[in-house]
Structure 1
């Protein structure tokens, strides 16, 4: 299934099963905002990530979108990247604590992120989805790409709300995403 089709399905699921949460979603990031982000960080965002931020540019508040993560806005992602870039340039990190090609799109409100890795750290596979912990060395590669991740999210939402009822926040925080064969792959900074 294509990424745009998955986004359309997710949008409908959120409107049907989490209408109060859906109301907290921000409007889409504009083409100008996406271009400014790319220019600042010297990155070319993959089409899927541009579509992601162009669907909804984060959310208001920290209510969970999936598991214990909320949608990170483009401006919040930029803030995260600026801080980590500065710390990296100052030599405050061990190897692979942070990389300039990691673009966060989910956050837990405590300094931890799920990122699209544009440089393919650890595996050489650019576009993989990895987890960044601010105070822990684990850097698992969760999914091979954003489409595989979104497929798992849509499937989890469909399974959690099979009866058509609204989903309580607790069920979203406890959702388990089905990983493709061979994932997650465990790596550590340092």
Structure 2
């Protein structure tokens, strides 16, 4: 039986997700009423990032212990929390202007280094995570392992630094 090629689907999803987020930074802030306090969304984003980080750690421990069922369940939870993060993130950045970092000195440099690496690696992790998931779900174990050894540390870094970025910029919301 011929294996199905999911690369076009992963490519389309990656382009759509990255383009959607990129477009947000060129749109003016929404000027209408929304019916809730949008300033709660950055905290929610940090919570989703924290949950993603924790579920990835559990998934990593599970796979190291050869508990594939648990690994799959926690990777699924990581995808769920990442998706919820994305919805919340897009909503927040559609409804408001970006917050400027107000720190000075070395903290300013650290903040922008963490933010830049977070953004760049967030773009990189999208296709890696999608392709890792496809290869895992289709039982392409060796291909899954080869890509997952890159995906896991990058995804862990992105989710962890998402929380760090929030903690560093939260006084300026």
Q: Quick one: higher RCO (CA 8 Å, sep 6+), 1 or 2?
A: 2
> TM-score of the superposition, structure 1-length normalised?
0.25
Report the structure, 1 or 2, having the larger helix content: 2
Report the structure, 1 or 2, having the larger strand content: 1
Which structure is larger by alpha-carbon Rg, 1 or 2?
A: 2
